[in-house]
Structure 1
Amino acid sequence: MRLVFAGTPDVALPSLEALAESDHELVGVVTRPDAPSGRGRRLVASPVAQRAEELGLPVLKPDHPRDPAFQESLRALEPDCCPVVAYGALLPQSALDIPVHGWVNLHFSCLPAWRGAAPVQHAIWAGDEVTGATTFRIVKELDAGPTFGVMTERIRPRDTAGDLLARLAEGGAGLLVATLDGLADGSIVAREQEADGVTFAPKISVEDARVDWQVPGHLLDRQIRACTPAPGAWSTFEGQRLKIGPVLVVDEQLPAGRLEVRKDTVLVGTSTHAVVLGQVQPFGKKQMPAADWARGARLASGAHLGDSPGQEA
């Protein structure tokens, strides 16, 4: 089949590479427009755009896929199907109707569970033991189209969202190619999603990532891993933000938010078991081990993370 791939971030690259090496004809790529990056805020092409240009593929960067000029350019490429991985924009029906076999999305959950922008983060936060990836035909309703194939992946006890997403991106690339193979030879049939078991995974905001030390330790562990690397879990120390990397729950108890500084470790109390801090990033500084931060800030046991009553972050 003639394919036009749609994707934007690094997580889409394994699928782009797999499609470029497949028996299908990859004739173009759709991605989000160049975006400001770095301290200079200069415009930088997306990871997918950069790799597509290296592969010598035409790259379309519409401000929005409803733009008539974009749709005309897409139509001129005559795609049989448009595979999608983390493109990042809603597709209007006029664009969905262009390829014969529609737009086939690789979504990082076992649909109908965790429809939405942050399925991997929500699966970890909820304490799911297994997740996966699903290929489905995009329809107007969010992640509700008929499915083609699914793969499963165990969520490991120390997985961050970044760890799990990397594995799903690699495994999902093979699933996406297999789905397109099946569409090409007619061996695969789309199945409507079950009405039961629908859950939603909206984007996690910076405020959602704020740590409340009054929460039980095992739930904080999930939250912090779910928010790593983005948007990044955080608390406050002396009124300034402190980014919090993955923690380790231990069989000790401390008052919620209270710091216990030891030679090589820093513990924080929760409403249940204390946690050992891993990497932290003080405001305006680089990420560092919590013990180094404690030494540099001359912390003593009894200091407190989190705002005092009435104090603003």
Structure 2
Amino acid sequence: MRLVFAGTPEPAVPSLELLAASRHEMLAAITRRDAPVGRKRVLTPSPVAHRAEELDIDVIRADKLDTEVTAKVEALAPDLGVIVAYGGLVREPLLSMPRHGWINLHFSLLPKWRGAAPVQHALIAGDTVTGASVFQLVAGLDAGDVYDEIVHEIEPDATAGELLEQLAISGASLLARVVDDIAAGTATTRAQTGDPSYASKLEDVDGQLIWTQSSDRVLGRFRGVTPAPGAHTTINGARVKVLEARTAPSDAPTLAPGQVAIHNKEVIIGTATVPIQVRTVQPAGKGSMRAADWFRGLRSETVVAGS
């Protein structure tokens, strides 16, 4: 088949690579425009744009799938549109333009966690199982019939970045199989069943750690917002990013929620249940450092998180 691909971030790259190496013809890759990155705000192509150019695939840069993009896709006459984390909606007439419409690789077991940040919300909610689904794109948000899915058990300490990397690879294989089935005329779908839940895009405020919650909930939020938008707290009123955290050893002392201490040369912070060990932090305006080194530099008799 003749394919058009739409995607932007790194988790979309394995799908692009696998489809580009398949027997199908990759006509173009649609991706969001180059964006400023880093402290110097250097204008940088998206991961999909960068990889597509390496693969000699035509790139269409657009922040929305508007009439201009629609006209370009129509001129290509694709059989199928494939979308993986593009970051925008596909509306009519573009939605119905390819002969087989559009299919979407989504990183959840639909209808659970429809929306922009399914992996992140799954971790914040404390889910132990997730997966990836390939479904027919329709006007409703992630509501189309499902072609196929894979189930993935979540490792206890996996962050959103690590889990997305795993699902991007296994999901790409799932997507390629569905594309082959559609081409062969053997693909079947099933309606989504069950009550949907929604995973809105995360903002900076979603990364705030709340120490009056249980350690499981604090760590779930830490894992869900790492690496983006990033976990953070305040220590004696100053903002600090938390880059590495885990459950404290079983011999750690009991601490009040938000109380900060040193145990076996590591920083621990109290929660509503057991303490959490914080190993790497980034104070405002500084680089990342060992939490113990940062703690020693505070020179304060009382150190409290969340204040």
TM > 0.5 fold call: yes
Q: Alignment partner of 2:207: what SS?
A: coil
Per the TM alignment, residue 77 of structure 1 is displaced from its structure 2 partner at its CA by: 1.1
Residue 311 (structure 1) aligns with = none
Post-superposition offset of 1:283:
0.5
| Contact residue 2 and residue 24 of structure 1 kept, 8 A | yes
On the 8 A contact 1:30/1:59 being kept in 2, the answer is yes
Partner of 2:15: 15
Candidates 242, 245, 248, aligned match of 1:247: 245
Which secondary structure does the structure 1 equivalent of 2:114 belong to? coil
Shift of residue 228 of structure 1?
0.6
Greater CA drift, 275-284 or 105-114: 275-284
Point out the structure with the larger strand share: 2
Which of 203, 206, 212 aligns to 2:204? It is 206
| SS in structure 1 of the partner of residue 223 of structure 2 | helix
1:63, distance to aligned residue in structure 2 (A)? 3.6
Give the CA deviation at 1:299: 5.2
> Equivalents in 2 of 1:133, 1:299: separation in Å?
48
Give the distance between the partners of 2:242 and 2:169, measured in 1 at CA.
Answer: 27
- Give 4+ residue runs of structure 1 displaced > 4 Å after superposition: none
Q: Which whole-Å CA distance do the structure 1 matches of 2:183 and 2:100 have between them? A: 9
Question: In 2, are the aligned partners of 1:237 and 1:306 still within 8 Å (CA)?
Answer: yes
3-state SS of 2:205 partner: coil
Q: In the alignment, is residue 192 of structure 1 matched against residue 191 of structure 2?
A: yes
Give identity over the alignment, percent: 45
Secondary structure of the residue that 1:173 maps to in structure 2? helix
- Stretches of structure 2 lacking an aligned partner (at least 5 in a row): none
The aligned residue for residue 53 of structure 1 is 53
Q: After superposition, what is the alpha-carbon deviation per residue over 1:185-229, rounded to whole angstroms, capped at 9, x for unaligned? A: 0111122111x2311111122112111111111111111111111
Matched, 1:217 2:215: yes
Paired with 2:63 and 2:240, the residues of 1 have a C-alpha distance of: 35
Partner of 1:269: 270
| Structure 2: distance between partners of 1:124 and 1:299 | 34
**Per-residue deviation, 1:55:** 1.1
Give me the TM-score of the superposition, normalised by structure 2.
Answer: 0.95
Task: State the 1:254 CA deviation.
Answer: 0.4
Match of 1:238 among 233, 236, 260: 236
- The correspondence for 1:227, drawn from 220, 225, 228, is 225
Listed as ranges, the gaps of 5+ residues in structure 1 are 308-313
Separation (CA, whole Å) in 2 of partners of 1:91 and 1:229: 28
After TM superposition, the structure 1 = structure 2 runs for residues 154-193 of structure 1, keeping only pairs within 5 Å, are 154-193=153-192
Q: How do 1:140-151 residues align onto structure 2 when only pairs under 5 Å count?
A: 140-151=139-150
Structure 1 residue aligned with 2:128: 129
Whether 1:260 and 2:261 are equivalent positions in the alignment is yes
Contact preservation (8 Å) 2:236, 2:303: no
Aligned residue identity for 1:17: E
Does the 8 A contact of 1:225 with 1:246 survive in 2?
A: no
Partner residue in 2 for 1:106:
105
SS in 2 for 1:150: strand
Q: Give the distance between the partners of 1:115 and 1:280, measured in 2 at CA.
A: 32
The answer for the alignment partner of 2:34 in structure 1 is: 34
Q: AA paired with 1:225?
A: R
Determine if contact 2:31/2:60 at 8 Å carries over to the other structure.
yes
Superposition deviation, residue 3 in structure 1: 0.5
Distance 1:78 1:291 in 2: 59
Separation in structure 2 between the aligned mates of residue 64 and residue 21 of structure 1, nearest angstrom? 27
1:244 Cα deviation after fit: 1.1
1:86-101 to structure 2, matched below 5 A, reads 86-101=85-100
Q: How many residues are matched?
A: 304
RMSD: 1.4
Instruction: Say if 1:3 and 1:82, in contact at 8 Å, map to a contact too.
Output: yes
For structure 1, which segment, 291-300 or 39-48, has the greater mean C-alpha deviation from structure 2 after superposition? 291-300
1:152 Cα deviation after fit: 0.9
Deviation at 1:248, TM superposition (A): 2.2
Task: State the partner residue of 2:65.
Answer: 65
Match status 1:293 vs 2:294: yes
SS in 2 for 1:49: helix
Query: How far apart in 2 are the matches of 1:183 and 1:162?
Result: 31
Question: Partners in 2 of 1:228 and 1:69 — Cα distance?
Answer: 36
- Could you report, residue by residue, the CA deviation over 1:212-264 in whole angstroms, capped at 9, with x for unpaired residues? 11111111111111111111111012322101134222344201111112452
